[in-house]
Amino acid sequence: MELASCDVLVVGGGGAGLRAAIAVAEADPSLRVAVVSKVYPMRSHTVSAEGGAAAVVKPGDSLDAHAYDTISGGDWLPDQDAVEAFVREAPREMLNLEHWGCPWSRDPDGSVAVRAFGGMKVERTWFAADKTGFHMLHTLFQTSLRYEGIRRFDECFATRLLVDDGRCQGLVAIELCTGRVLGITARAVILCTGGCGKVFAFTTNAAIKNGDGMALAYRAGAPLKDMEFVQYHPTGLPFTGILITEAARSEGGYLLNKDGYRYLQDYDLGKPQPKPVLRSMELGPRDRLSQAFVKEQEKGRTLKGPYGDYVHLDVRHLGEQLIDRKLPFVRELCLKYENVDPVKELIAVRPVAHYMMGGVSTDSNGATPLPGLYAAGECACVSINGANRLGSNSLPELLVFGARAGRSAAEFAARQRTPGSAVSSQAVDEEHRLQDLLGKRGGKERIATLRTEMQQAMEKSAGIYRTQASLEQGAAVLGRLSERYPDLALDDRSQTFNTELTSALELGYMLELARAIVASALWRKESRGSHQRTDFPKRDDQGYLSHSLTYRAEDAAPRVEALPVSITRWPPGERVYGR
Amino acid sequence: MSPHTTFHPKWYRPRVSVWWWLEKRPYRLFVLREISSVFVALVAFVTLLQVRAVKQGPDAYARFLEWLGTPAVLAVNALAFAFVLLHAVTWFNLAPKAMSLRLRGKKVPDAVVAASNYAGWIVASAIVAYFLLRD
Amino acid sequence: MPEAVTLVVTRYRPEQEHEPTTQRFEVPFRKEWVVLDALNYVKDQLDGSLSFRWSCRMGVCGSCGMMVNGEPKLTCGAFLGDFLPGPIRVEPLRFFPVIRDLIVDIGDFLRKLKRVKPWLVRSQEKPLAEGEYRQTPDQLDAYKPFSMCINCLLCYSACPIYGLEPSFVGPAAIALAQRYNLDNRDQGSRDRHEILSGKGGIWECTFVGQCSEVCPKHVDPARAIQQYKLTAAMHWLMPWAGGSR
């Protein structure tokens, strides 16, 4: 077994991970930072974010306004102290990224441009054409190359966190190109591994979004927070699930049902105007728009396609010039994958699973209840997004909480002793477990079969609308899949870049997380934001103005507890759009 | 990355054949384009011979013109002319890539830069033709 | 439309063989399917040991570059229908060492990328309190195409110089260097000059031009290289002129 050591270990090389690594390197250049990622950092899923990143920067806007939009957008589940810190630091982080070279789109006078976005009362979304995540990730990656103190372990697949003496002291990972198992000890670990959208059948998420870090933390005893809140993005392409950015709507696109009718007006989202009105109609929050689609579907007013029902997104009235300037990637994607030119034709879209509001429970400094373990980005839940995330809040979240987690992990690490030998023997045990998995003969289940059954079960039982019955059925199916999981058959026995082994491990992570999602959805007997229960259709602040905390139980259903929401200045109110 | 992985002996490193340029049309065209520079040099050389012949007097010049008219020399010169044309056309089409011209803040399109090269070529040829053919 | 199409896929298992071999797979034909979908079908249903990289399947992460019928392509954007009737040859990206099956090592590119200093270099930082560096839309357009590079490395596979000359820094790295050179906020042209105009730099390029042809993001690295040749030549002729740009 190969042993390496560092002071702060960042797992995941996306926006949050790279920002955290740079934050550690800047906070304390004497610390050795390592970034472990199962893909090269520029392949991380941050790269596919399109629309933009919100931060208060224009006159006429205020931190309180951004905070209120975020809190009400999250249906009063966000922790308000964390939101206040978030909106305060977002402009600084975004400016910092600009200073690192990020090519933000500009106004004619050379200042950074902002645009409207769903659920926001004021225009505050910074953007880089419609490839904001791409530009942010590449800026962060290229900037990180400057820091000699950051050591990267590219294409190393983390399989287990090392916990000893009550604190997290490193992890075990497979170095994919050789198959060697590495034990990397550290004095603090920051998980930045993203969400787990691949537990669902239709998703905007890439293949790599399997919730690795969430599952590792969960298995190490850290609780997951708010797992029942899954965001469905209203406009994904049918079949591929490819994301069509919210910016298409914020620039003025309409959502039309099969009769060419702007159906959102029937769902308390305002009256249709020719130009986009903030916090109204197509610029409403994502959960309400996705729910409207399901209602239209029930009424038989959606179109039927070979890959499911869909509605139309109409941007023809925006004109070719605007589309090429502000939405060029949307045009490219539609032409390529749907053979449709948005300048002249309607785009077929449907809600697809997109973002996990839930994740590893952290405080506003990125610290989990397990000392030495931190988390930031989509894999963490602080929570600033609550029951529904507003578009363009997740990219600044990566920067703000990546930096905060980096700084607090650096400070923690500087105060710790170096990991002892107990941790190395744990690592050796894990190596043996992996070798056994690789060498196991027999087995009759195929990975793809179990994975597809899991995804279909999640889509049916824990989709946009849930009931006690659908969730219980989902739990039962997932339970049976978990029993079949040890019986997996592997075709690939090679040590060199064995992607079948990693797919099997990823499936294991996803099954655990799927069960956590269903368990917390069963626990929350109310409807709030993106968690809608037809058997409990109202929001219940008396009983459920709290987060769900889901703990793993060996050989039993996950245990769910409540964690009260932190309310500072905005008492729970009615969530109003379009009025 | 650790030294063990950087130059791992088991990675397969295929050798590139010296005939790589035959594989694809764009590569073959590229090699022809590069060879054309030899013919450009040849044309320049023949022109120098012509200048020398003029200097040596009317008899030498007449012999030179006769030599130019022989089938072998004619064939070579015809081939050279074809290659010079290829050279000029590919040069004009590719030149805009090296020149990033901005007029009043906006980029001048490649087609405009190339077109102005062609225009200059036509004008220069017209002038030369005028002087050669007037009589 | 046919019912099925054949893929001829390169296999390389270093523990078992010294050289790559090929394997034929018959996959269903669907008009929405891209080569990546076909490869995933093989892995899911036919042979789980087939190894390849992929992630976003929308042409922005750069993971899934492979040779399809001899041309470097992003397999997530290469529709099966464009290659009918088949068989379709799928091979690892050319000019890179092959680790396994369709997976190549890109370490050489990453080392060369770091050497061109692809970050904003400032002789003096502007304090955050003073706001953003001003950059008009026209100034952004000056370098924007070069900033679109997804590091998919198709250009390296199309470049015969990269295949023949191991020191060549390559199209994407040079394009990214130019992306910063042309950014009005950057002051680091001098820092990049040596690696760009030294051995393995722009002068290795003979403008074959295939890099720009195969680039799926229209970055046009050939333009970046030729532009820099002009800049470097001017700098050599008149070293006093030009300042930091």
C 10-29: CB under 8 A from A: 13-15
CB neighbours of C195 closer than 8 A, spacing ≥ 6? C115, C116, C117, C169, C177, C201
**Is the domain of C121 the same as that of C215?**
yes
CB neighbours of A213 closer than 8 A, spacing ≥ 6? A11, A12, A158, A191, A192, A193, A194, A360, A375, A379
Q: Could you tell me the two tokens for A359? A: 């994740």
Which value, in Å, is the radius of gyration of the alpha carbons in chain A? 23
CATH number at residue C185: 1.10.1060.10
Q: Are A130 and A245 in contact (CB under 8 A)?
A: yes
Size of interface B-C (CB pairs under 8 A): 70
Strands (E) located in A55-149: 114-115, 125-126
Beta-strand pair C71-74/C65-68:
antiparallel
Print burial letters for C181-212: b (CB count within 10 Å at least 16), e (below 16): bbbbbbbbbebbbebbbeebbbbbbebbbbbb
Query: For residue C229, is it within any domain?
Result: yes
Backbone angles phi, psi at A358, to 5 degrees: -80, 170
How would DSSP label each residue in A215-264? Answer: HHHHHTTPPEE-TT-EEEEEEE-TTT--B--THHHHTT-EEE-TTS--GG
3-state class of C66 per DSSP? strand
Chains with ≥3 Cβ pairs under 8 A against A? B, C
Selected for mutation to probe chain A from C18, C33, C55 (highest A CB count within 10 Å) is: C55
3-state class of A298 per DSSP? helix
Query: For residue C37, is it within any domain?
Result: yes
3-state class of A95 per DSSP? helix
Query: For residue C245, is it within any domain?
Result: no
Query: Is C90's pLDDT higher than 80?
Result: yes
Task: Using the 3D structure, point to which of C104, C136, C157 is the last residue of a domain.
Answer: C104
Q: What CA–CA distance (Å, rounded) separates A36 from A46?
A: 16
A290, with CB counted inside 10 A (0-12, 13-18, 19+), is buried
Which value, in Å, is the radius of gyration of the alpha carbons in chain C? 21
Instruction: Please state the ipTM of this predicted complex.
Output: 0.97
pLDDT for B3 equals 38
Residue of C nearest to B91 (CA): C207
A3 alpha carbon, distance to own chain's centre: 31
**Is the domain of C56 the same as that of C81?**
yes
Q: Which residues of B touch C12 (CB under 8 A)?
A: 12
As annotated, the active-site residues of A are 233, 249
Q: What CA–CA distance (Å, rounded) separates A506 from A208?
A: 9
Query: Is B135's pLDDT higher than 80?
Result: no
**Is the domain of C229 the same as that of C129?**
yes
Query: Is C243's pLDDT higher than 90?
Result: no
Query: For residue C193, is it within any domain?
Result: yes
Is B26–C95 a contact, with Cβ atoms under 8 angstroms apart? Answer: no
Residue C138: C-alpha distances to residues A107, B101, C120, C141 (Å): 10, 13, 19, 5
Banded model confidence at residue C121, pLDDT cuts 50, 70, 90: very high
Mean pLDDT value of segment C57-67: 97
Residue of B nearest to A156 (CA): B1
Host H or E run for residue A424: helix A421-439
**DSSP class of residue A528?**
B
Residue linked to tokens 């075709």: A491
Q: How many CB atoms lie within 10 A of CB A555?
A: 4
Print burial letters for C213-227: b (CB count within 10 Å at least 16), e (below 16): ebbbbebbbbbbbbb
Helices H / strands E in chain C, number of each: 9, 7
**Is the domain of C87 the same as that of C111?**
no
Mean pLDDT value of segment B78-89: 94
Is C99–B11 a contact, with Cβ atoms under 8 angstroms apart? Answer: yes
Q: What CA–CA distance (Å, rounded) separates A303 from B63?
A: 85
Backbone angles phi, psi at A387, to 5 degrees: -85, -10
Q: Are A280 and A383 in contact (CB under 8 A)?
A: no
**Is the domain of C180 the same as that of C89?**
no
Q: Could you tell me the two tokens for A96? A: 């910092």
**Is the domain of C133 the same as that of C53?**
no
Query: For residue C22, is it within any domain?
Result: yes
Position C77, amino acid: G
Residue B21: C-alpha distances to residues B32, B34, B45, C161, C231 (Å): 10, 12, 29, 11, 29
Q: What CA–CA distance (Å, rounded) separates A281 from A266?
A: 10
**Is the domain of C80 the same as that of C152?**
no
Position A119, amino acid: G
Q: Which residues of B touch A177 (CB under 8 A)?
A: 5, 8
**Is the domain of C99 the same as that of C128?**
no
Average pLDDT, chain A: 96
Q: What CA–CA distance (Å, rounded) separates C216 from C197?
A: 27
Closest Cα in chain B, distance from residue A325 (Å): 15
Residue B31: C-alpha distances to residues B26, B27, B112, C169 (Å): 9, 6, 27, 22
Task: Using the 3D structure, point to which of C71, C104, C137 is the last residue of a domain.
Answer: C104
CATH number at residue C29: 3.10.20.30
Query: For residue C75, is it within any domain?
Result: yes
Extract long-range pairs of C112-116: CB within 8 Å, 24+ residues apart: C112/C169, C112/C170, C112/C173, C112/C200, C113/A145, C113/C151, C113/C172, C113/C173, C113/C176, C114/A145, C115/C169, C115/C173, C115/C195, C116/C169, C116/C173, C116/C174, C116/C176, C116/C177, C116/C192, C116/C195, C116/C196
pLDDT for C244 equals 44
Closest Cα in chain B, distance from residue C142 (Å): 8
pLDDT for C74 equals 98
Domains and CATH numbers, chain B: 25-128 (1.20.1300.10)
Query: Is B6's pLDDT higher than 90?
Result: no
**DSSP class of residue C147?**
G
- The one-digit pLDDT tens for each residue of chain A (579 residues) are 889 999 999 999 999 999 999 999 999 999 999 999 999 999 999 999 998 999 999 999 999 999 999 999 999 999 999 999 999 999 999 999 999 999 999 999 999 999 999 889 999 999 998 899 999 999 999 999 999 999 999 999 999 999 999 999 999 999 999 999 999 999 999 999 999 999 999 999 999 999 999 999 999 999 999 999 999 999 999 989 999 999 999 999 999 999 999 999 999 999 999 999 999 999 999 999 999 999 999 999 999 999 899 999 999 999 999 999 999 999 999 999 999 999 999 999 999 999 999 999 999 999 999 999 999 999 999 999 999 999 999 999 999 999 999 999 999 999 999 888 899 999 999 999 999 999 988 899 999 999 999 999 999 999 999 999 999 999 999 999 999 999 999 999 999 999 999 999 999 999 999 999 999 999 999 999 999 999 999 999 999 999 999 999 998 899 999 999 999 999 999 999 888
**Is the domain of C50 the same as that of C135?**
no
Full-prediction pTM beyond 0.80? yes
Range of the domain at C34: 4-104
Q: Could you tell me the two tokens for C134? A: 């001003």
* C140–chain A Cβ distance below 8 A for any pair: yes
Strands (E) located in A266-402: 303-305, 308-314, 347-356, 359-361, 373-375, 380-381
With the CA atoms of A199, A201, A207 and A210 taken in that order, what torsion angle do they form, in degrees rounded to the nearest 10? 0
Is C44–A446 a contact, with Cβ atoms under 8 angstroms apart? Answer: yes
Mean pLDDT value of segment B46-54: 93
Query: Is C95's pLDDT higher than 50?
Result: yes
* B109–chain C Cβ distance below 8 A for any pair: no
Residue linked to tokens 């195929």: A446
Residue of B nearest to A34 (CA): B1
Beta-strand pair A254-256/C103-104:
unpaired
Chains with ≥3 Cβ pairs under 8 A against B? A, C
pLDDT for B9 equals 66
3-state class of A548 per DSSP? strand
Q: How many CB atoms lie within 10 A of CB C131?
A: 15
How would DSSP label each residue in chain B? Answer: --HHHHT-TTSB-PPPPTTGGGSSHHHHHHHHHHHHHHHHHHHHHHHHHHHHHHHT-HHHHHHHHHHHHSHHHHHHHHHHHHHHHHHHHHHHHHHHHH---EETTEEPPHHHHHHHHHHHHHHHHHHHHHHHH--
Q: Helix C171-181 to helix C107-115 angle, to the nearest 10 degrees?
A: 30
Size of interface A-C (CB pairs under 8 A): 156
Query: Is B59's pLDDT higher than 90?
Result: yes
Residues recorded for chain B: 135
**Is the domain of C82 the same as that of C131?**
no
Mean pLDDT value of segment C158-166: 95
Q: Are A255 and A249 in contact (CB under 8 A)?
A: yes
With the CA atoms of C105, C109, C115 and C117 taken in that order, what torsion angle do they form, in degrees rounded to the nearest 10? -120
**Is the domain of C116 the same as that of C222?**
yes
Query: For residue C114, is it within any domain?
Result: yes
Q: What CA–CA distance (Å, rounded) separates A324 from A317?
A: 13
Closest Cα in chain C, distance from residue B120 (Å): 21
Print burial letters for B99-121: b (CB count within 10 Å at least 16), e (below 16): ebeeeeeeeeebeebbeebeeee
Q: Could you tell me the two tokens for C147? A: 């900033």
Query: For residue C243, is it within any domain?
Result: no
Is B4–A178 a contact, with Cβ atoms under 8 angstroms apart? Answer: yes
Is B1–A153 a contact, with Cβ atoms under 8 angstroms apart? Answer: yes
**Is the domain of C18 the same as that of C88?**
yes
Q: Could you tell me the two tokens for A448? A: 């793809």
Q: Could you tell me the two tokens for C72? A: 């470097």
Mean pLDDT value of segment B117-125: 94
Task: Using the 3D structure, point to which of C85, C104, C123 is the last residue of a domain.
Answer: C104
Q: pLDDT over 70 for what percent of chain B?
A: 92
With the CA atoms of B71, B76, B79 and B81 taken in that order, what torsion angle do they form, in degrees rounded to the nearest 10? -100
Domain count within chain C: 2
